[in-house]
Amino acid sequence: MEFWNETLTQKSWNLLLGLEKAEFKFVLIGGWAAYLWTKKHKSKDIDIVLEDIKEIDILKANYDLRKNDNLRKYEIKMEEIDIDIYVPYYSRLAVPAEDIKKYSTLVQGIKVVVPEMLLLLKQGAELDRKDSIKGLKDRVDIMTLLCNCEIDFRKYREILGKYGKKHFMARLKEIINRFKDIKYLDLNPREFKLRKKKIVDALRNA
Domain boundaries in the chain?
6-205
Report the distance separating Cα 49 and Cα 73, nearest Å.
10
Mean pLDDT of 7-29: 92
Q: Which CATH architecture has domain 6-205?
A: 2-Layer Sandwich (3.30)
Whole-number pLDDT of residue 119 = 97
Asked whether residue 2 carries a pLDDT value surpassing 70, the answer given is no
Mean pLDDT of 18-38: 92
Within 10 angstroms of residue 131's Cβ, the number of other Cβ atoms is 7
Whole-number pLDDT of residue 129 = 87
Percentage of residues in the chain having pLDDT higher than 70: 99
Report pTM: 0.92
Report the distance separating Cα 156 and Cα 162, nearest Å.
10
- pLDDT tens string 129-169: 888 888 888 999 999 999 999 999 999 999 999 999 999 99
Whole-number pLDDT of residue 1 = 59
